[in-house]
Structure 1
Amino acid sequence: MNQNASAELLTEPPVQIEHMRVMIVSDAAPERNGVGAYYQDLIQYLKPKVAELEIICPIIQANGRWQGGLNVPLPGDTTQKFLIPNFLKIKRQIKAFAPDIVIVPTPGLIGLAGAYQGRKQGAIVLLGFHTWFEKLADMYWGRIEGSLNRAYFWVSNKLLFRWSDVVVANSDEMVQIANDFGSKKSYRVGTPVAFDFINRPQPEPACRIEKVLFAGRLAAEKNLPAIVEAARAHPDLIFSISGDGPERQLIETAAKTLPNLNYLGWLNRSDLLAQLDQHDCLVLPSHVESFGTVALEAMSRGRLTVVSHNCGICQWPKLKNGLFVVEPESSLATTLATLRGMDEKLLQQRADTARAAACELNDWSMGMWYSLLDALVKK
């Protein structure tokens, strides 16, 4: 398989992966961020097709406490945790499971332990390279903290790339960064969409904009002030923001002063699906966004979807045809004004295009994963 090659679409996985034992070792809690959601969705499709699949990752309990190791709040974002795991326990779990492939999607200590132990046990190590943390350093940390964190991620990535056999990323930019960092083999893979988002009956088609939703981490890279500005510019639209993060106070304060802005708190995937169906439009005006899974989820529900040009999802031409993109010289408020002036039939056509593109990408993505795992198991 050539680097960056597109897989032939496989509606069913190759026979070889039916005997495969797959373990995912991740620092990301399920559903808590884009990486956590990505691998929860991937598990939905892979688990029935392989012999065995297990995941080692933190769990967030009902009381909000993190389970999975000694944890400390991340500098600049106390809603995220840096976990120091029980390395001996991870070693025992991997040895007992005897995986053929270990998938590591994060550069934290859990991911490092997974990559090291997977390689030591003779498994193929597949690194999921989804976030270029160094690019976020200046948004979260001061000069000293930023330098320390950049140094950590530099060392962590060097080790992960050394221990991994293959790297996957979901944008051309991230593939190129992986290649520059010394990846042995890098492939662009698509993003699966959770089964319910694809298969649950569709809501009424979106053909006008009355209710606008943002869902994601409340953090600097998401450009939340652009949403507040848009709410001020369009007082006759209802804006809802869901999520949690270091800029939660900013949103809660804005929601108290703007009658058309609501803060929904953090939503699990089921509640997020319900909110998407209740809104006409999803916005993602991020400064930095490796892909933008929530935009793909909105497209799968036939919602009008507005993203910034910084979102990696724009690098997928078929998906871009179903998106409205906020260009560098424009703003979210201006883009929404343009959409509001468009013919309803044109808006519905765009929403239909978005839905079809999201479903097609989901099939392609799983075809790519099946092909990649098949190629690795034949090595």
Structure 2
Amino acid sequence: MPPCAAGLRVAIVSDAAPERNGVGAYYRDLADHLRAAGARVDLVAPRCRAGTWYGGLTLPLPGDPTQKIVLPSPWLVSRRIDRLRPNVVIVPTPGPFGMLGMHLAERSGAALVVGFHTHFEALTTLFQNWGIGARIANGYLGACHRLLFGKSDLVLANSQEMMAIARSIGARRVSLMATPIPQRFLDFQPVPARRDLARVLFAGRLAPEKNLEAIVAAARRLPDIEFLIVGDGPMRTWVEEQCRGLPNLSHSGWVRRSRIMALIDEMDALILPSTVESFGTIALEAMARARPVLVSSACGILSWDVLSRGIFRIHEGEHLADALARLRDLDPAIRERKAHLGREGARDINHRNLQHWLAVLSGDYTDSVDVGR
């Protein structure tokens, strides 16, 4: 049985807008699960609606016109934290909201739990056109992570590799966390998959680390398969240009998260060929809907034993097109069995992850809680 959530007051202070990326989605889902378990939760983060950002003064994010840096009002955030009187403050990002959350946790005497989801310092090396801006961003992010980790009571990372990186940056106490799934993904019976693999989905940020070039090349080599790219990001213009030249490649732009489940159900498989991917939340969501999932070896989701058995892999050195052709040519019954293993694993890890978070938020920082590895 999970620890009792009664009396838990949790503030989540994040720079990630709930609808805009995987980290934002993670903490919106976690907040929903914690509230359902009886905890009081306040998610303090910027919001983006119809392209307009709210929550503070907005500044452009270098290299990505679709994202913003939001400077929060310290007075307004402080008032929300004071009203909640949290036992624990969770900080998942090293931006202005996250650093303010760290300060307010220290001021209020609340425990500080840091979520380490993305090694931003590694991502900045992919943006060669930033020039000196990449070095400045790298230095800032490294300094913020060192400060956050130094003041934290616990750092939670979503893979063994990320745990090792956190320790190398200076985290003293590190534990593994899994990823929550919106409950409706598990409660509603999946739409039965078709026997033919004719439609595949990529959903995520349109950014260099996602290896979008491999998707375009696969669409060119496999004209009998329809490829749908969903998302927004700095490579959006390039993706749209590629779609104009390939009749089996389309791009729908950014979609609301409430639409993602129905979108997954319409497709025959999900692909994630990323070169850098600390976890891969969209892959877990597709597994929850009993869809075949094909990911690269760079995706952290493969480090989870309970999940990896339900995932198809792009082999080291294998092109996405060859991996997809291999998946397409499999006996449909094999694809279906693997997909149902994935759904079972997603259900299992979602349950264990809630238990783990409740234990952590209740003050149990040991590594004894089994979250599904």
Give the % identical residues: 43
- Corresponding residue SS for 1:23: strand
How many angstroms apart in 2 are the aligned matches of 1:172 and 1:216? 23
Matching of residue 129 in structure 1 with residue 99 in structure 2: no
Structure 1 runs of 4+ aligned residues shifted over 4 Å read: none
Matching of residue 116 in structure 1 with residue 91 in structure 2: no
Q: Which moved more, 1:292-301 or 1:153-162?
A: 153-162
- Corresponding residue SS for 2:12: strand
How many angstroms apart in 2 are the aligned matches of 1:144 and 1:159? 23
Give the aligned partner of residue 215 of structure 1.
Answer: 203
Tell me the C-alpha RMSD between the 2 structures: 1.5
Deviation at 1:354?
Answer: 1.1
Q: TM-score normalised to the size of structure 2?
A: 0.95
Equivalent residue letter for 1:276: I
CA contact (8 A) 2:19 2:48 kept: no
Give the aligned partner of residue 178 of structure 2.
Answer: 190
Equivalent residue letter for 1:94: I
CA contact (8 A) 2:294 2:311 kept: yes
1:79-90 to 2 correspondences below 5 Å: 79-90=66-77
Select 1:14's aligned residue among 3, 24, 39: 3
Give the aligned partner of residue 99 of structure 1.
Answer: 86
Equivalent residue letter for 1:145: G
CA contact (8 A) 2:28 2:43 kept: no
- Corresponding residue SS for 1:47: helix
CA contact (8 A) 1:205 1:351 kept: no
1:365-376 to 2 correspondences below 5 Å: 365-376=353-364
Deviation at 1:324?
Answer: 1.0
Select 2:164's aligned residue among 157, 176, 197: 176
Deviation at 1:208?
Answer: 3.1
1:146-161 to 2 correspondences below 5 Å: 146-161=134-149
Q: Which has the higher contact order (CA 8 A, sep 6+)?
A: 1
Q: Deviations over 1:155-192 (max 9, x none)?
A: 11111112211111111111111112221211101111
Equivalent residue letter for 1:61: R
1:261-280 to 2 correspondences below 5 Å: 261-280=249-268
1:221-300 to 2 correspondences below 5 Å: 221-300=209-288
Q: Which runs of 5+ in 1 are unaligned?
A: 1-9
Cα separation, partners in 2 of 1:303 and 1:206, compared to 1, 3 Å:
farther
- Corresponding residue SS for 1:217: coil
CA contact (8 A) 1:198 1:300 kept: yes
Q: Deviations over 1:55-113 (max 9, x none)?
A: 11001123x11111111121111111111221222222212221110011110011000
CA contact (8 A) 1:124 1:376 kept: no
How many angstroms apart in 1 are the aligned matches of 2:184 and 2:215? 28
- Corresponding residue SS for 1:225: helix
Equivalent residue letter for 2:295: V
Select 2:312's aligned residue among 307, 324, 340: 324
- Corresponding residue SS for 1:209: coil
- Corresponding residue SS for 2:356: helix
CA contact (8 A) 1:206 1:351 kept: no
Equivalent residue letter for 2:166: A
Select 2:56's aligned residue among 48, 66, 69: 69
CA contact (8 A) 1:309 1:328 kept: yes
Deviation at 1:119?
Answer: 1.3
Count of paired positions: 365
Deviation at 1:143?
Answer: 3.0
Q: Which runs of 5+ in 2 are unaligned?
A: 367-373
How many angstroms apart in 2 are the aligned matches of 1:315 and 1:361? 13
How many angstroms apart in 2 are the aligned matches of 1:210 and 1:95? 53
Select 1:55's aligned residue among 43, 57, 76: 43
- Corresponding residue SS for 1:139: coil
- Corresponding residue SS for 1:43: helix
CA contact (8 A) 1:22 1:50 kept: no
How many angstroms apart in 2 are the aligned matches of 1:321 and 1:205? 19
CA contact (8 A) 1:208 1:344 kept: yes
Deviation at 1:376?
Answer: 4.4
How many angstroms apart in 1 are the aligned matches of 2:150 and 2:13? 17
How many angstroms apart in 2 are the aligned matches of 1:156 and 1:70? 20
Q: TM-score normalised to the size of structure 1?
A: 0.93
- Corresponding residue SS for 1:244: coil
Deviation at 1:377?
Answer: 9.7
- Corresponding residue SS for 1:19: coil
